[in-house]
Amino acid sequence: MPHTALYSEHIAAGGRMVDFSGWQMPVQYSGILAEHKAVREAVGVFDISHMGEFRVRGAGAGAWLDSLLTNRVANLSSGEAQYSSMLNDEGGVLDDLIVYRLREEEFLLVVNASRIAKDASWLYAHHIEGVSLCDCSSDFAAIAIQGPKSPEVFQKLFSLPMPSERNRIVELGSTCRLALTTGYTGEDGFEWLMPHNEAAAAWHAAIDAGALPCGLGARDTLRLEMCYPLNGSDLSQDRTPLEAGLGFFVDLTKPSFPGKDVLVAQKTNGIPSRLTAVRVTADKAPPVRPHYPVWANGQKISETTSGALSPSLGYGIAMAYLPPELSEPGQPVEIEVRGRKFAAVVQKKPFYQKKP
């Protein structure tokens, strides 16, 4: 099973390793609750080296990406980033990703680990002359430093203040890149991309600057509190980005992209379901997990796509695709756990609101 350049550091730090998208990754070190709290109140560091990177260059590179992705790449200035998706012809989400415009006709795509090979095949299948496409995933390692004290870590690491601009990428030298405020936790922070042989030094430098090592367990509870969808769970090839609540990142004024016709029809006629936040209200309910049945009015209407006990809020939270008429905040539902139904209610996204 593949592992990242930081595998030895995780073992030395007592990381509990698990299989994640075919990679050996740490699920926790000091514990999910402690790591979650560190990111919400101080600062944590995650290994995200399993993510994939593609470099796209050449005259027409921007126009080519615009013909494939849901968001409008042409809106990006050099150094800017945006969230986007690639869809199948039925409008289902193949992958969600971040697009960075490094220069006028040079882009960096950061994709999900489980989708690297499939995304590469899909992009090469749509490849055109004049555009250079390179799967450079094996060239990079990356860490994410997240939390309200991340600017202090940035200052210690780079001897300069963390820029206030959001969704930016800064290049330090020819190989080091810093992606600002494009993390997955809802907190301030940055993602640091570097060559593999520099990963261990960067990891220890972040820890020495005050960041607590954090694993996938805390990363999942943090993102779920913010209702950030997880590819393969909340996002799938059977659901469109409109159903997933990602319409803000879809530009239907573009001439074409795969699945656009389906999205236009949904925009006109209405979506069949909506990815909805559900809070458990029953006392002493067991933890909610993915694939638990959701009931309303005595009928099974769906199943959870994600679920966990919220460390910040102290109650169970979940997301599920519900019919639009049952997805309004305040709608009572039930979640079935091991044959028992527990009271829950639809809630406005996100579950967690950052403290001012």
235, 223 in Cβ contact below 8 A?
no
Distance of CA 165 to the CA centre of its chain: 20
Residues of the chain with pLDDT under 50: none
Token representation of residue 200:
């261990």
Q: List Cβ<8 Å contacts ≥24 apart for 63-69.
A: 64/128, 64/131, 65/99, 65/107, 66/254, 66/257, 67/126, 67/255, 67/256, 67/257, 68/123, 68/126, 68/257, 68/258, 69/97, 69/99, 69/257
> What pLDDT, on a 0 to 100 scale, did the predictor assign at position 174?
67
CATH architecture of 273-347: Beta Barrel (2.40)
The DSSP annotation for 320-346 comes to EEE-GGG-STT-EEEEEETTEEEEEEE
Residue 266 has a CB neighbour count (10 Å cut-off) of: 17
| Selection from 91, 86, 89, 94 nearest residue 235 by Cα | 94
Beta carbons within 8 Å of 284's beta carbon, 6+ residues apart: none
- Packing angle of the helix pair 32-41, 216-225 (nearest 10 deg): 50
Residue 81 has a CB neighbour count (10 Å cut-off) of: 21
> What pLDDT, on a 0 to 100 scale, did the predictor assign at position 228?
97
Pairwise CA distance, residues 328 & 350, whole Å:
14
> What pLDDT, on a 0 to 100 scale, did the predictor assign at position 21?
85
Q: List Cβ<8 Å contacts ≥24 apart for 156-160.
A: 156/209, 156/210, 157/205, 157/206, 157/209
Q: What confidence tens digit (pLDDT) does each residue in 221-238 have?
A: 999 999 999 999 999 999
| Vertex 353 angle, CA 193 and 289, to 5° | 75
Residue 112, helix vs strand vs coil: coil
* CATH for the stretch 7-50+138-225: 3.30.1360.120
8-state DSSP, 51: S
7-50+138-225 shares its CATH topology with 273-347? no
Distance of CA 224 to the CA centre of its chain: 10
> What pLDDT, on a 0 to 100 scale, did the predictor assign at position 33?
98
> What pLDDT, on a 0 to 100 scale, did the predictor assign at position 318?
98
Q: Could you identify the residue written with the tokens 């969600």? A: 96
Token representation of residue 13:
């730090």
| Selection from 7, 29, 21, 35 nearest residue 219 by Cα | 35
Number of H helices, E strands in the chain: 8, 19
Pairwise CA distance, residues 285 & 20, whole Å:
27
**Could you report how far apart the first and last alpha carbons of the chain are, in Å?**
43
**Sequence ranges of the domains in the chain:** 7-50+138-225, 273-347
Global pTM reads 0.96
